[in-house]
Amino acid sequence: MPTTPSLSPVFSDYVRAKPKLERYVQAKFPRLCRGHVEDAVSAVGLALVMNPTTFQMLHNLKDPSRLLGLFKRVAWRAARATVRRRAYSAERAFEHEDDVHLGLDAAQPLTLALRRDLEKIVREAATETSPPQTERLAAAVMDQLYGGGTDGEVAERHGVRREYVNRARQQVTRHFVSPPPSGSRPVTSALA
């Protein structure tokens, strides 16, 4: 039965390199929060356990810069994977939204009016799509608009059918893209 090489010296190198790796990842990805940086650095430890021979081989070369280079590469790739995830970009889009609006006194009434109008448009779309599920469907569409995620993920979270989320979201999109019918008053009357 093959034996796994001892990881303790390599793992000790990893533990000593963690602060350096965190600074490296933070410098390469300045918008990542501390938790995501720690996750990327923890991915190095996971890779160390999953593929010990590669790390052990570099450790045996007695060149700490090569081992540190591999640690950095694994951490960088984990951080890049985090940044590329769709959920992360949606998370970043609305991260400081409330703080920004609270800081702008002149824009606050406009922002609140636009939010109310958006909620009204979403509620109307949900009512037209599935009247019995208006509340849950409206919550699902708002969740998708603010939090991201696929139609299926949002539908599952709110207990509605994926098709309904898709139809309601498309109807909201059409409201903003297509011109309003002639003779109708625009919903965003707060702008006037």
* Closest by CA position to 164, among listed 151, 175, 153, 174: 151
Strands (E), the chain: none
Choice among 38-52, 55-69, 177-191 with the minimum mean pLDDT: 177-191
DSSP per-residue string spanning 140-191: HHHHHHHH---HHHHHHHHTS-HHHHHHHHHHHHHHHHSPPPTTPPPS-GGG
Higher-confidence position of 62 and 20: 20
Rounded mean pLDDT of 185-191?
49
Rounded CA separation 39/78 (Å): 8
> Where are the chain's structural domains?
8-84, 97-191
Name the amino acid, one letter, at 89.
S
Rounded CA separation 60/67 (Å): 10
Statement: residue 36 has pLDDT above 80: yes
Q: What is the pTM of this model?
A: 0.46
- What are the tens digits of pLDDT across the range 137-155? 999 998 888 877 788 888 9
